[in-house]
């Protein structure tokens, strides 16, 4: 997806989905996430936001990492 700002700078956006797992069996591998973020950075993606998605009782089921880079 591509957007432009008021100063004609155009940005391309990328959303990375990170599955968290079950309530009592979380499945997050910090090293894997770090590697994914580093790979995105090597391709000029800049992390701009992280959003957690809740599936009832405040339990996070997945995390969205939003990146942008000049287009």
CA distance 43 to 19: 22
pLDDT (0 to 100) of residue 55: 75
Using CA atoms, how far apart are residues 70 and 12, in angstroms rounded to an integer?
6
Q: What is the pLDDT of residue 5?
A: 59
- Are 14 and 70 in contact, with CB atoms under 8 Å apart? no
Question: Which pLDDT tens digit goes with each residue over 1-59?
Answer: 666 656 788 999 999 999 887 666 667 888 999 999 999 999 999 999 999 988 777 77
Read off φ and ψ for residue 59, nearest 5 degrees.
Answer: -85, 125
Q: Which domain holds residue 38?
A: 2-70
Q: What is the pLDDT of residue 4?
A: 64
**pTM given for the model:** 0.78
Into how many domains does the chain fold?
1
């Amino acid at each position: 997806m591509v957007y432009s700002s008021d100063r004609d700078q155009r940005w391309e956006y990328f959303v990375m989905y990170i599955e968290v797992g079950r309530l009592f069996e979380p499945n997050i591998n910090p090293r894997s996430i770090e590697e994914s973020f580093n790979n995105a950075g090597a391709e000029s993606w800049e992390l701009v936001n992280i959003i957690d998605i809740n599936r009832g009782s405040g339990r996070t089921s997945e995390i969205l990492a939003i990146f942008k880079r000049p287009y």
